[in-house]
Amino acid sequence: MIELEDVAYNYGGGELLSEITLRLQPGSFHFLTGPSGAGKTTLLKLCYGALMPTAGHVRLFERDLREMERDDIAMVRRRIGVVHQDCQFLDHLSVSDNIALPLMVAGRDLLAEGANLKELTGWVGLNERAQALPPELSGGERQRAALARAVIMSPDVVLADEPTGNIDWEMSQRLMRLLVELNRMGKTIMIATHDIALIRAAKSHVQARVLRISNRRLQLAGADL
């Protein structure tokens, strides 16, 4: 589904990532770890075509990123849901309207999608907050709204960048349960996180590979995680 082959990426005159080879298979679950500044966010951006590699090849659903036009990349991205670290919303729109934004951009009929939108809002536990404005939400509510927005188009792959970084342990586990449930529905999941305790807790519920960026390269983390 997403494949990186001998990928490198230079940033600010130096090499941030080098010789990265990764294949995200359908239905797989990956954790991506590494210290701050190691390149976790950069690697995720390479995985959804937001960055072009300095060297090597990125293939999105069997298409080489270098050979794709901007419109082609935009269409492919509809198959990839992204939960960004900073969770940006349009503050003048309700939670429900923010979740529905990808449908609007894709030109979908919002009236026809109403039942699905309500079901998804309920799935992330935000039905009672559907008409609230983003500034009124707690950190955990914002993260769940971001997850709902990322999956509203029913993507094949979900990439989450430190989705539990600014919320408490209980809410982190709740969000992780939602991601595990998505994986059981057949979605491919990759989560960038530095929270080793969360990874250990999640591995009791899902078969996951743990990857670590170290010295610019991607490694399979040890069995102690």
For the beta carbon of residue 91, count every other beta carbon within 10 angstroms: 10
For residue 170, what are its two tokens? 């209980």
For every residue of 20-47, DSSP letters joined together read: EEEEE-TT-EEEEE--TTSSHHHHHHHH
pLDDT of residue 150: 94
In which element (H, E) is residue 14 found? strand 14-24
Residue 217, SS3 per DSSP: strand
**Is residue 36 within 8 Å of 214, Cβ to Cβ?**
no
Residue 153, SS3 per DSSP: coil
pLDDT of residue 225: 47
pLDDT of residue 222: 58
Collect the ranges in the chain with pLDDT lower than 50.
223-225
pLDDT of residue 169: 87
**Rounded distance between C-alpha atoms, residue 221 and residue 34, angstroms:** 10
CA dihedral for 194, 188, 137, 40, sign (positive or negative): positive
pLDDT of residue 171: 84
pLDDT of residue 201: 86
**Is residue 31 within 8 Å of 213, Cβ to Cβ?**
no
